[in-house]
Structure 1
Amino acid sequence: MVVVSEATALPARVSTAGRHSSVVVSDDRQWARHLCGFVRSGLDRGEQVQYFADTTAPERVLRTLADAGIDATAAVTRGQLAVPVAAQTYLAGAAFDPDAMIGLWHDAVDAAFARGHRGLRVIGEMSWGVRGAVGADRLLEYELRLHQEVFERLPLTAWCLYDRRLLPDAYVNLLAGAHLTHRGDPVAEPTLHVAPLADRVGFLMSGSAGYDTRDAVAAVAAAVRGTSAPRVEMDLTALRHLDAASLAVLADAAAGRPGGAGLHVRQPPPSLERLLELFPALGSVMEVVGR
């Protein structure tokens, strides 16, 4: 479990709206506009700003900022701006590891405050997720966990940048949809939409869960299993269908929660309620609420 220092913990009741966003672009002009607006805002606020590059050369990032009238060189010199690459950030270990990355965020915010900055602001390219990096299949789990484990706790603003020219549409739709706030190009609703809940610890599943969405269901299950909160809720109000295999995966995750805390399921589809009634073992780890 990550411990948050008092110096960097958020004050009570501070809104996290808009601090973790997906940004979808499809051309260089859109990319430059989001980049420059994001960096300029952070520098003006006295925050440390980082751009996690992947396919974009760091020199191009700095040149684009300079062309927009931002003194990127001076910001780099004084330590307020940095452009590390994926091998130094998301892929710094032998594999992409959500736990390690979440720990990195806590360490990075502490470091920014120690250097006298007023917060941390990061924009990261997500194109590395489709190149077969070890652990990249855990990226959706990571996005689902960030709201409660990072943004509810730290003065951090982070945008995840998805470039449609480099990523399949289905991948963009699923990953971008896992954020509470979206910017840039519109995204289509995936077959199964999964996201963190904004107002309580838990996750949303809407649409239809079956064989074709098994990877997304597995990511939700991993996020459920890894959440240490005493109460975790799964909002299924808009879920039309959940097959037996998906239910088994979620039930297994609920049974594996720390201390056997189980999972609270809000307004599941009738088929799931019938299965819970037929199999008492499932009901022991998944409690239906809000009928």
Structure 2
Amino acid sequence: MRETCLSSGHRTAADRHVAVEYSSDDEWAGHLLAFVRAGLERDEQVQYFADVTDPGVVTRTLTERGVDAVSAVRRGQLMVATAHETYLAGSRFDPDAMVGLWHEAVDAAAARGFSGLRAIGEMSWGGRDIAGADRLLEYELRIHHEVFAQLPLRAWCFYDRRLLSGAELDVLREAHLTRTACGPSEKPVLSAVPLKTLPGFRLVGSVGYESRHVVASVAAAIAASPVGDLTLDLSALGHLDIAALADIVSAARRRPAGTPVRLLGAPAAVHRMMQLFPELRAGLEVAVP
């Protein structure tokens, strides 16, 4: 178990993409108020993507706590939409569409004269049987480099502990480099984290049957990433079986950039598998231990 807390600054991409957890309506309201009030004071446009929360409750809560939400909505500085109008606007959740939406939204906010864009997205839909919800982890991993490293955007991903299983939440939390869980939280068996400075991802823990979905999400992120030079750091990985390695190799071969994925810190067992099966090196550039 460990503790993580929200950093005080918002200077880097890691600081601007934050996992925010809460267990009560009052906690939710406290996070909402702090985020929205700061954005309005900085002349930023603020958007809220509601899932289980009625949009009217968002504006009413702000009003009751001293924010003139009605005026902010009237002048276009505060916009409250629903998950079905944003994340789930198509027939299924599509990370590529959401990446494009963020770029369009930042451009639109600038065109209207706002100093920047900040947004809150309720992510509880990721725990329901919704088409494409299994790609949520892939999305959280990709947007660090494809969105926040490129755009003047601040976004808090709202995760309600009452609506997501502990195992789901543990993995999704770890996909953010900044988190608000200022209390004990479980370390998942396997987690995937965006690299802070280099484009790429890091696997931490051990691959097993119960964590194969994490490998699948990382593989999907590798395959979809438009970044030319991508690194996969395995230095904190205790075990990687041949099936998981094959998934990563297949993803590396499908990359649109056409460049190999740099494999960093691969365990000795991975090197042995590549010696036995040279085809597993295709699409990878393996750093010598």
- Return the TM-score normalized by structure 1: 0.92
- Distance in 1 (CA, whole Å) between partners of 2:153 and 2:209 is 36
Alignment counterpart, residue 88 of structure 1, candidates 81, 85, 88 = 85
Structure 1 range deviating more: 257-266 or 220-229: 257-266
Corresponding residue for residue 194 of structure 1: 192
The aligned counterpart of 2:170 is 173
Provide the residue aligned with 1:219 in structure 2.
Answer: 217
1:59, distance to aligned residue in structure 2 (A): 1.2
Matched, 1:203 2:197: no
Question: Structure 1 residues 59, 217: closer, same or farther in 2, change over 3 A?
Answer: same
Deviations 1:81-134, CA, capped at 9 Å, x for gaps: 011011111011111100011100011111111111111100111011122111
Query: Aligned partners of 2:32 and 2:181: how far apart in 1?
Result: 12
Separation (CA, whole Å) in 2 of partners of 1:140 and 1:227:
14
Residue in structure 2 matched with residue 41 of structure 1 by the alignment: 38
Residue 66 of structure 1 is matched in structure 2 by 63
> Quick one: distance in 1 between partners of 2:283 and 2:103?
32
- Residues 26, 185 of structure 1: 8 Å contact kept: no
Secondary structure of 2:105's match? helix
Aligned counterpart, 1:275: 273
Aligned partners of 1:85 and 1:259: how far apart in 2? 34
SS of the equivalent of 1:18 reads helix
Stretch deviating more after TM superposition (181-190 or 55-64): 181-190
User: 1 CA distance for matches of 2:240 and 2:14?
Assistant: 30
Distance 1:149 1:60, change over 3 A: same
Q: Quick one: distance in 2 between partners of 1:32 and 1:81? A: 16
Return the offset for 1:259: 5.2
Q: Which residue of 2 aligns with 1:145?
A: 142
Classify the secondary structure of the residue corresponding to 1:203: strand
Show CA shifts across 1:187-225 (max 9, x none).
Answer: 321111101111101101010112211111111001101
SS in 1 for 2:180: strand
Q: TM-score, normalised by structure 2?
A: 0.93
Aligned equivalents of 2:57 and 2:203: distance in 1? 39
1:3 maps to none
CA separation of 1:290 and 1:60: change in aligned 2, threshold 3 A: farther
Structure 1 partner of 2:3? none
Structure 1 residue aligned with 2:49? 52
Q: Distance in 2 between matches of 1:158 and 1:32?
A: 16
Task: State the match for 2:13 in structure 1.
Answer: 16
1:43 is displaced (CA, Å) by 0.4
* Structure 2 contact 69–78 (Cα < 8 Å) conserved: yes
Q: Which amino acid aligns with 1:228?
A: P
Contact 2:227–2:257 at 8 Å: present in 1 too?
A: no
Provide the rounded CA distance (Å) in 1 between the counterparts of 2:209 and 2:283: 23
Alpha-carbon offset, residue 67 of structure 1: 1.6
Q: Check 1:184–1:69 CA distance in 2 against 1; reply closer, same or farther (3 A cut).
A: farther
How much has 1:260 moved relative to structure 2? 3.7
Counterpart of 2:229 in 1: which secondary structure? coil
| 1:285 corresponds to 2:266 | no
The offset of 1:290, in angstroms, is 5.8
**Helix, strand or coil for the counterpart of 1:142?**
helix
- Name 2:5's counterpart in structure 1: none
1:100 matched to 2:102? The reply is no
Percent identical across equivalent pairs? 53
The verdict on how the C-alpha distance between 1:259 and 1:130 changes in structure 2, with shifts beyond 3 A counting, is closer
Distance 2:52 2:288 in 1: 46
Q: What is the CA-CA distance between 1:185 and the residue it aligns to?
A: 4.9
Aligned position for 1:236: 234
- Between Structure 1 and Structure 2, how many residues are aligned? 278
SS at match of 2:107: helix
Shift of 1:184: 3.5
Specify the SS of the correspondent of 1:176.
helix
Gaps of 5+ in 2: 1-10
The residue identity in structure 1 corresponding to 2:21 is V
Distance (whole Å) between structure 2 residues aligned to residue 284 and residue 125 of structure 1: 39
- 1:243 deviation in Å? 1.1
Higher mean alpha-carbon deviation, 150-159 vs 269-278, is at 269-278
Offset at residue 172 of structure 1 (A): 0.6
